[in-house]
Amino acid sequence: MLSTARVTIRDVAKAAGVSVSTISKVMNNRDGISEETQRRVRAVIEELGYVSSESARSLRAARTGVIGVLIPDFEPYASEVLKGIARALNGSPFELMAWSGGAGRDATRGWERQLVARLAGSVLDAAILVAPSVTSLPFDSFPMVAVDPHEGPGYLPNVRADDREGARLAVEHLADLGHVRIGFLGGRKDLASARERERGYRDAMRAHNLDVDEDLVVRGDYSRAGATEPARTLLTCADRPTAIFAANDLSALRVIEMADELGVDIPGEVSLVGFDDIPESLRSEPGLTTIAQPMIDIGSEAALLLLQLMAQEEPPERDIKLPTRLVVRESTRVLRP
Amino acid sequence: MLSTARVTIRDVAKAAGVSVSTISKVMNNRDGISEETQRRVRAVIEELGYVSSESARSLRAARTGVIGVLIPDFEPYASEVLKGIARALNGSPFELMAWSGGAGRDATRGWERQLVARLAGSVLDAAILVAPSVTSLPFDSFPMVAVDPHEGPGYLPNVRADDREGARLAVEHLADLGHVRIGFLGGRKDLASARERERGYRDAMRAHNLDVDEDLVVRGDYSRAGATEPARTLLTCADRPTAIFAANDLSALRVIEMADELGVDIPGEVSLVGFDDIPESLRSEPGLTTIAQPMIDIGSEAALLLLQLMAQEEPPERDIKLPTRLVVRESTRVLRP
DNA sequence: AGCCTTTACGAAAACGTTATCGATATCGAT
DNA sequence: ATCGATATCGATAACGTTTTCGTAAAGGCT
């Protein structure tokens, strides 16, 4: 049982007294093999515990039956989207693989371009790209769907939240609480979502006749670490804002940590709103008021869209935008003068 | 740019006017290639946008630089563990891949056995198995670590929670609240964790001089769907228990749904404790009292252990057991007669 | 009996890489 | 000028599959 060498299709062929091609045909349920031979071959396969090598199969075969999700990192947002994708693919004939290549060496040309090139057509039959940052991809016949992509509609078929409206909800909530000096901590500038949320922020500020102090507009990269300096800037600047809208929850959670370090009370001195409603936001102290986006549904919709693309069907909608909603917890409070 | 055919190493060789071997050597930073040639080759690679095919490379090369996490499904528990693994692997030279093959056709011989056989040695350099159910795996030289495995210590190097103690905490909590008729909804019987939690339940019942009514001991499979019938049994049986300890949160959440359907009030009529403390438990109505296990830490520890194994180091401990703790929310209440 | 179709199987060529090893060319030393 | 060492590169054989195509045998038909 504890064999060190892999048992190959050749071993099976030899043991069964037939050719390699026959084994392959049996494995893939091709016809042209007699019942009798099939039985014998299957018995040998079972006995030797033969399983075909994925890389060899991928290399040769046209289809692999696996759908890949390419993500920058296994962070909370991607994890939730993944759950949704898995749910939608459950019962389909496809296997699901998630590959995180963000930290890879060659970030210059876009991690997703590299990953797609490496995996497309051989390892993968199709892919869902989460937060891709490149404009074009060198593959036309390869089915792909983007979630929270770089470009807006028109680029790849994509699924996203209504980022602008969500941002508007966030600012409106703060304005309703009486806040005037509202700072903004932005996200990865290469993503449409970050730009849209900033637009929503500016729209809503204007709609409420509030001035945008450009000193209070800073940007991170959606990651926890990337939010450190922007958060410090906002919390320590001369005329500190009384409220902050962070473009995603991970950044907002970093603001909470920084505030704690700096002795700034949230929501006593500063109110804070995030975006996403990742599970972690529920556990923070104080609980984070945030704009919830339906991450699981986004994943499911993306998977469904991809399935349609793979079936050569023209999907009814190639730019799917899902609604957000405000979730009020403890990180926001009425401004007291 | 929109080329339909893949650009192979041969194309690059032709374009650069050198042999295929030279391209390969440049790609892999082997020496024996002059600076001058390297520059020219790299330029062509850049120009053509060449990226080597993962499957071809996997097939031939000894190492791939990829660590795989094999999970039955992208459900909350596995997702949290994945976050921990990703965190520990961040900064390491390895890429991370998660493959979900549980739903695969051939569940008979154990999904992880199939997956390992398919991926080991070619696609993957090493693997972390989450909740594997097989006793032995046909690979000795392939580094593997199990999380929440079938067997207890001695099988594969593994990381797990202190399941028995956790279960004890759960029952003790219910007993302290005055409950006597305490039901148990078990998990996948092929996993050690499920057996340990049941043992912990029985231990604690005995320790509190409570009888275990075998009619109140039912079993699911840790999944939401699998908990449906056991949950119904417990909630509709003649002499209904006043409290239920579910072996994991997913099952507990199903109990909440069932109770809602059946018009049973939680915690008014039945108290409920889960196990895991997955993010979803925080959002349930009522909030689920549960035994928290450090899923992220479990993932990190597993990754660290795997790294040691891959470096041929003998790890200080091959059976890592992490502590649990009781988290009281709203699904449990003092028994009122 | 002759011919054509069908069935069952095998030989061999891919798939795109990496690794081994041999072949030049260059150079310094005798 | 000869020799041996060193640098640079290319042919070629793998890696483990799938697929195409050919072939032999068997069967059905006139």
- What is the average pLDDT across A210-228? 95
CA distance B291 to A175: 40
Q: Is the CB of B62 under 7 A from strand C?
A: yes
Is residue A278's pLDDT more than 80? yes
Provide the pLDDT confidence category of residue B4 given band limits of 50, 70 and 90.
low
For chain A, what's the residue count? 337
Whole-number pLDDT of residue B102: 57
Whole-number pLDDT of residue B106: 47
Helix (H) / strand (E) containing B71: strand B66-71
CA B335 – C1' C27 distance (Å)?
A: 94
Please judge whether B118 and A54 are an interchain contact, meaning their C-beta atoms are less than 8 angstroms apart.
Answer: yes
In a 10 Å sphere around its CB, with 0-12 CB exposed, 13-18 middle and 19+ buried, how is residue B161 labelled? buried
Please judge whether B95 and A85 are an interchain contact, meaning their C-beta atoms are less than 8 angstroms apart.
Answer: no
Q: Which residue of B has its CA nearest to A1?
A: B138
Whole-number pLDDT of residue B141: 80
Q: In this complex, how many residue pairs, one in chain A and one in chain B, have their CB atoms less than 8 Å apart?
A: 140
Q: Residues 70-109 of chain B: which lie with beta carbon within 7 Å of strand D?
A: none
Whole-number pLDDT of residue B308: 96
Whole-number pLDDT of residue A102: 57
Beta-strand pair A126-130/A66-71: parallel
CA distance A272 to A185: 11
> Which chain B residues contact residue A104 at CB under 8 A?
95
Spatial contact of A267 and A288, defined as CB atoms under 8 Å apart: no
Average pLDDT taken over every residue of chain B: 92
Spatial contact of B291 and B274, defined as CB atoms under 8 Å apart: yes
Task: Give the closest of A76, A117, A138 to B2, CB-based.
Answer: A138
* Other beta carbons less than 10 A from residue B260's beta carbon: 12
% of residues, chain B, pLDDT over 70? 93
Is residue A88's pLDDT more than 90? yes
Q: Is the Cα dihedral B29, B30, B31, B34 positive or negative?
A: negative
Q: Is the CB of A117 under 7 A from strand C?
A: no
Provide the pLDDT confidence category of residue A249 given band limits of 50, 70 and 90.
very high
Provide the pLDDT confidence category of residue B184 given band limits of 50, 70 and 90.
very high
Q: Is the CB of A31 under 7 A from strand D?
A: no
CA distance B335 to B337: 6
Q: Is the CB of B20 under 7 A from strand D?
A: yes
With H, G, I as helix, E, B as strand and everything else as coil, classify residue A150. Answer: coil
Provide the pLDDT confidence category of residue A121 given band limits of 50, 70 and 90.
confident
In a 10 Å sphere around its CB, with 0-12 CB exposed, 13-18 middle and 19+ buried, how is residue B121 labelled? buried
Backbone angles phi, psi at A289, to 5 degrees: -70, 135
CA A41 – C1' D13 distance (Å)?
A: 30
Nucleotides of D under 7 A from a protein CB: 7-12, 14-20
Half-sphere exposure of A325 (CA within 13 A, CB side): 4
> Which chain A residues contact residue B53 at CB under 8 A?
59, 118, 122
Backbone angles phi, psi at A257, to 5 degrees: -60, -45
In DSSP notation, B263-296 reads T--TTTT-EEEEEE--THHHHSSSPPEEEE--HH
Of B4, B55, B70, which to mutate for an interface test with A (greatest number of A Cβ within 10 Å)? B55
Question: Which has the minimum average pLDDT: A11-15, A116-120, A287-291?
Answer: A116-120
Beta-strand pair A217-219/B325-327: unpaired
Distance of CA B195 to the CA centre of its chain: 17
Is residue A290's pLDDT more than 70? yes
Q: Which residue is nearest to nucleotide C13 (CA to C1')?
A: A60
Q: What own/partner pairs with CB < 8 Å and gap ≥ 24 does A45-50 have?
A: A45/A12, A47/A15, A48/A7, A48/A11, A48/A12, A48/A15, A49/A7, A49/B109, A49/B113, A49/B117, A49/B138, A50/A7, A50/A8, A50/A9, A50/A11, A50/A12
Question: Which has the minimum average pLDDT: B112-121, B123-132, B233-242, B320-329?
Answer: B112-121
Domains of chain A: 9-52 (1.10.260.40), 66-160+296-320 (3.40.50.2300), 163-294 (3.40.50.2300)
Distance of CA A322 to the CA centre of its chain: 15
Q: Please name the nucleotide lying closest to B24, CA to C1'.
A: C18
Whole-number pLDDT of residue A192: 92
Question: Which has the minimum average pLDDT: A171-185, A205-219, B103-117, B169-183?
Answer: B103-117
Q: Which residue of B has its CA nearest to A83?
A: B74
With H, G, I as helix, E, B as strand and everything else as coil, classify residue B19. Answer: coil
Ramachandran bin of B202, using left for φ above 0, alpha for ψ from -120 to 50, beta for the remaining angles: alpha
Beta-strand pair A319-322/A243-246: unpaired
Which amino acid is residue B232, in one-letter code? R
CA A34 – C1' C1 distance (Å)?
A: 30
Greatest alpha-carbon span in chain A: 89
Query: CA dist B155 to B38, B133, B134, Å?
Result: 48, 11, 10
Which amino acid is residue A119, in one-letter code? L
Distance from CA of B106 to the nearest CA of A (A): 11
Q: Which residue of B has its CA nearest to A90?
A: B103
Whole-number pLDDT of residue A152: 61
Q: Residues 220-279 of chain A: which lie with beta carbon within 7 Å of strand C?
A: none
- What is the average pLDDT across A230-237? 96
> Which chain B residues contact residue A95 at CB under 8 A?
99-101, 103-104
CA dihedral B155, B156, B159, B163 (to 10 degrees): -20
Beta-strand pair B66-71/B126-130: parallel
% of residues, chain A, pLDDT over 70? 93
* Other beta carbons less than 10 A from residue B128's beta carbon: 28
Whole-number pLDDT of residue B156: 87
Q: Is the CB of B57 under 7 A from strand C?
A: yes
pLDDT digits (tens, 9 = 90+) for B159-173: 999 999 999 999 999
Per-residue burial over A173-183, b = 16 or more CB atoms within 10 Å of its CB, e = otherwise: bbbebebebbb
Which residue's structure tokens are 């709609």?
A207
> Which chain A residues contact residue B118 at CB under 8 A?
51-54
Is residue B28's pLDDT more than 80? yes
CA distance A135 to A138: 10
Distance from CA of A306 to the nearest CA of B (A): 18
Average pLDDT taken over every residue of chain A: 92
Distance from CA of B290 to the nearest CA of A (A): 14
Spatial contact of B147 and B298, defined as CB atoms under 8 Å apart: yes
Is residue A114's pLDDT more than 90? no
Greatest alpha-carbon span in chain B: 89
